Every structure is written in C-alpha cells, then in structure tokens.
C-alpha cells in the first residue's frame, strides 16, 4: 500500500512537471496565441497586418507581422510541426526563385523549435531577431498630396473669345473651336 501511494505520488509529480513543460491549447496565459492544426493559411489570414507589413518567422518559433517601422503588429506562437512546415515551405520558395536559402530558415526547418514556450510579452513584442527590411520613408506611389486634392480645379468654361489655343490653355481647355470661322472661337476640351 505504501509502495503504491509513493508510486502514485511520483507519477503525479512527473505528470505535473511534464504538463508545465509542454504548453497546450488550454494554457491560461493571455499572451499565448496558439492555434492547433496544420492549416497555416488560416493562421496567417487571421493576423493583423497593413499594406507595408512584413511576415517574419522568428528563431523562437513565433510568427509575427511587423509594421513599416519594425514594431510588432501581431504574433502567433507555432508548435514544432507548424514551425518546420512553414520554414520548409519558405525554403522551397527561396529555392524555386533561385535565391540562396538563409541559414536561419534551414535551421528552423531542421530543429525542434516550439513557439508556444515564448509567452513573455516583452519577448513577443520586442524580439531580438527582426526582418531585414529597410523602412519606407517619404511618399509611396499611393500617396496623395492633400493640398492638391482639395484645390479647386479650373474647368474649361466654353466661353467664346479665343483666337488661338494659347487663349484656352489657362482654363484647362485644349481646343479653340471656330463655329463661324476665324478670328473668334470658343474654348473646349479636346475630344480625346
């Protein structure tokens, strides 16, 4: 009886120790954002990002999105299988494009890294390894100058009185039409 109770105590202690060392979906930490399964696309599509964001799989097994200024927008911890699958898929894309596969990506694909063990909010939001990108400064092709956007446009008025095209261009008109013949015409937009 004593042997049985001691054996039970040892097994209980081992179970508790193993449970603490192996994170699960039911971990109550508010920083754990783990979704079980092989569907990485649903994880990626559910993450917060913007037009200039970069997705980055860190050496800690955490998939993050970074803003243009390299601050973390969102993160998801991945299990060992998810890390290896995503790293392998990324390595295959590098190889297909003829680019050299980064050593860090090869290491992630081959070694057991469990992102669920990273639960410290500082480590999640301020990782040591960040993507190697140059932040964009200035204007982008989609940028709009607000002063020009609200500036009143001068529209071709169709007013008579032009003698040549030079009389029409200040009004954004690109044709001087002579309905009764020269010398007096009317400014119009061209037919193009």
Q: pLDDT digits over 49-86, tens only?
A: 888 888 888 989 999 998 888 899 999 999 999 999 88
Mean pLDDT, the chain, as a whole number? Answer: 74
Nearest to 103 by CA among 87, 82, 79, 126: 87
Evaluate whether residue 22 is within a structural domain: no
Highest mean pLDDT of the ranges 116-120, 143-147, 158-162: 116-120
In the predicted model, is pLDDT for residue 41 greater than 60? yes
Q: Does 139 fall in a domain?
A: no
- Looking at residue 144, its pLDDT comes to 63
Number of domains into which the chain is organized: 2
- Asked if the structure places residue 50 within a domain, the reply is yes
Percent of the residues in the chain that have a pLDDT greater than 90, as a whole number: 11
Instruction: Tell me: do 103 and 164 sit in the same domain.
Output: no
Per-residue exposure over 53-90, b if at least 16 CB sit within 10 Å of its own CB, e if not? bbebbbbbbbbbbbbbeeebebbbbbbeebbbebbeeb
Residue pLDDT, tens place only, 14-30? 333 333 344 444 444 57
Q: pTM of the entire structure?
A: 0.55
Query: In this structure, is residue 51 part of a structural domain?
Result: yes
Which residue intervals of the chain are DSSP H helices?
A: 2-21, 40-45, 80-96, 103-110, 121-125, 146-149, 165-168
Domain of residue 171: give its range: 147-188
pLDDT of residue 55: 86
pLDDT at 9 over 50: no
Does 168 lie in the same domain as 90? no
* Same structural domain, 108 and 175: no
> Given a cut of 70, is residue 48 above it in pLDDT?
yes
Which of the residue ranges 7-16, 70-79, 177-186 would you say has the lowest mean pLDDT?
7-16
């Amino acid at each position: 009886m004593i042997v049985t109770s001691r054996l039970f105590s040892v097994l209980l202690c081992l179970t508790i120790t193993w449970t603490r060392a192996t994170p699960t979906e039911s971990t109550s930490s508010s920083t754990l954002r783990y979704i079980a399964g092989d569907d990485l696309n649903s994880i990626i599509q559910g993450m917060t990002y913007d037009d200039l964001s970069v997705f980055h799989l860190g050496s800690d097994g955490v998939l993050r999105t970074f803003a243009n200024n390299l601050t973390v927008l969102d993160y998801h911890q991945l299990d060992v299988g998810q890390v290896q699958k995503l790293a392998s898929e990324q390595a295959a894309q590098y190889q297909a494009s003829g680019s050299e596969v980064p050593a860090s990506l090869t290491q992630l694909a081959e070694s057991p890294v469990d992102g669920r063990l990273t639960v410290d909010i500082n480590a999640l939001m301020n990782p040591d390894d960040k993507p190697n990108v140059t932040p964009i400064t200035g204007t982008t092709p989609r940028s709009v100058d607000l002063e020009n956007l609200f500036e009143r446009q001068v529209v071709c008025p169709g007013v008579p009185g032009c003698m040549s095209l030079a009389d029409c261009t200040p009004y954004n008109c690109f044709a001087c039409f002579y309905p009764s013949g020269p010398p007096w015409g009317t400014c119009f937009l061209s037919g193009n």
